[in-house]
Amino acid sequence: MKKFVFVVAPKVFRDEEYIEPKMILEQAGIEVTTASTVVGELLGKIKIKAQSQMLVKDISVNDFDGIFFVGGGGASVYFEDEVAHNIAKKFYDEGKIVSAICIAPVILAKAGLLKNRKATVFPDGADILIQNGAEYTAKPVEVDDQIVTGNGPQASKDFANELLKLL
């Protein structure tokens, strides 16, 4: 069975960016684990509550086929987080899927993973992607090798379907 880990902020993550990809992957038989800076209840920006099963620092690349950083304002907790950056780099180095949506592609840019790659992000993050060497495309979803980026909640379904194609 294929497995994916979703990295979610403890609060103010985008509900749709969590729910829609999770549902689409699970319906396709992919096991989804949720990780955060805390174990237990996570609060979405709009109304949902999600449950984190593990801490980000405990993610083992060997246990998953891909990693997904969920967007929303709360994702900023990972912008300067070396642990999250190093985990993303390990997934990439192992040839696994590395993905982020909304403002979360900033995490991948700051980890150095978007240099000389096509990527998209919520418009607020475009400058940061460009400063970190990405080729910002402004598309709803962008796939470059095993890296998938999306620009916001409305791209959640297409984003999840791109993940499925890569799996």
* CA–CA dist 156, 22 (Å, integer): 10
Residue identified by tokens 């990439």 is 92
Mean pLDDT, residues 14-42? 98
pLDDT tens, residue by residue, 98-121: 999 999 999 999 999 999 999 999
Percent of the chain with pLDDT over 90: 99
Residue 76, pLDDT score? 98
Q: Structure pTM?
A: 0.98
The pLDDT of residue 160: 98
The dihedrals phi and psi of 3, each to the nearest 5 degrees, come to: -135, 140
- Average pLDDT score over the chain: 97
Q: DSSP letter at 97? A: E
Rounded to 5°, angle at Cα 160 from 154 and 163: 140
**What is the H or E stretch that residue 109 is in?**
helix 105-110
Reported as type and span, the H/E element at residue 166 is: helix 156-166
* pLDDT for the residue 148: 98
Cα dist. 86→80, 112, 120 in Å? 11, 10, 21
